Amino acid sequence: MDITERFLNYTKFDTQSSEESDRVPSTPKQLIFAEYLKKELEREGLDDVELDEKGYIYATLPSNIKQEVPTIGFISHYDTSPDCSGADIKPQIVRNYDGADILLSEGIVSSPKKFPELLQHVGEDLLVTDGHTLLGADDKAGIAEIVQAMCYLRDHKEIKHGKIRVAFNPDEEIGMGAHHFDVEKFGCEWAYTMDGGDIGDLEFENFNAASAKVTIKGVSVHPGYAKGKMVNANRLAAEFAAMLPADETPETTEGYQGFYHLLGIQSNIELARLSYIIRDHDREKFEDRKHLIKHCVEQMNQKYGEGTAEAEVKDQYYNMKEKIDPNMHVIDLVLKAMQECGVAPKVEPIRGGTDGAQLSFKGLPCPNIFAGGVNFHGPYEFVSIQSMEKAMQVIVKICELTGDYNN
């Protein structure tokens, strides 16, 4: 089975996760794919294949050398984003892409005028959607690359390598992917998430992240008799949102700039709930952002009465850089592997997070390598088959280089 067929098989499964759920995994349909993937790993001959009750899959490719070298791992998540449907995906292959507009479905066009990233893949074979769902390259492309690399190493015993562990998990898209990951069971000295974007991406800096749930309590009174009595939670919610810096949102920031992102508002006169995510690469600025949310709540209470507003702020993950910096050999290995595979590295901070960030803080240094997908979480998502093949080659080369690690 080639990497394209493997990936296309994965897209047949709807594995969308849900932020509204308190179960693990967050949606039962993820377990259907997990069972399929477990059987595939067993069929491909990997050892120690295990699927636990929370949907985490672990497996081993045994060492084929006598000397002791570090055990390393590769990780990808199998859930897809709640932002766009992952059901009934109809992928299409655009062979030898010529740089023109791509007709996904009647009236739905993916154009390089809007998505100039397409032009970086002229002459390649692109997997695209039909414009009605996401594709799922985030992160089923990563899974396909890891499994394909393990099969390649299995079939090419002349490539010497140490013990390789692989793992696949649910719920990364809702920030829960690493919460139940058993680092001790995984048993690696370091690992890599194959969850990056376009070819060459290598990421070991990410946002510090928190969520903020702001609740505003109002008082409903007939509007004809409301003077001095009504407290309109709708209006107070709008006032609260306006208290945060208008130029510090995802739409106005880039690079290392942080932001406040208003995910949604549920509101009526008596009660309003605002849901935010808070992001910043700098830990001190991150703490300042959380403090500003709480300060705005205090101001609302001073103006409208104690208990009018409250905020629940929870940290989600931190910048992995502080854990990777003392382990830069993990990065040097990838850079050498990319060089030997003819891939130009693009080392950039992640304007987001990966499971690798949380895993790094759990004692498993875990930077993020490209999986090849572009325009994640929407119907204009695509992935180059050639990029997936290169990612697979980089995995193989990392394993080979680690097999010679102590020489």
The residue count for the chain: 407
pLDDT in tens, 44-77: 999 999 999 999 999 999 999 999 999 999 999 9
Catalytic residue among 14, 79, 171, 195: 79
How many Å apart are CA 31 and CA 53, to the nearest integer? 9
DSSP codes of every residue in 150-199: HHHHHH-TTS----EEEEEES-GGGT-TTTT--HHHH--SEEEEEEE-ST
What mean pLDDT is predicted for residues 105-134?
97
Q: Using 50, 70 and 90 to split pLDDT, how confident is the model at 406?
A: low
Q: Which residue has the higher pLDDT, 19 or 149?
A: 149
Q: Is the pLDDT of residue 28 over 60?
A: yes
Beta strands, E only, 234-364: 259-267, 271-280, 309-317, 346-347
173 is catalytic: no
Q: CA 101, 107, 109: angle at the middle one, nearest 5? A: 25
Spatial distance between the Cα atoms of 229 and 221, rounded to a whole number of angstroms? 7
Report the candidate in 32, 48, 260 with the shortest Cα–Cα distance to residue 150: 48
d(CA 371, CA 187): 23
pLDDT tens-place string over residues 355-399: 898 899 999 999 999 999 999 999 999 999 999 999 999 999 999
* Sequence-distant (≥ 6) Cβ neighbours of residue 296 within 8 angstroms: 240, 243, 244
Does 175 score more than 80 pLDDT? yes
pLDDT at 19: 87
Q: What is the pLDDT of residues 324-362, one digit of tens each?
A: 999 999 999 999 999 999 999 999 888 877 789 889 999
Given 125, 138, 145, 172, the catalytic residue: 172
172 among known catalytic residues: yes
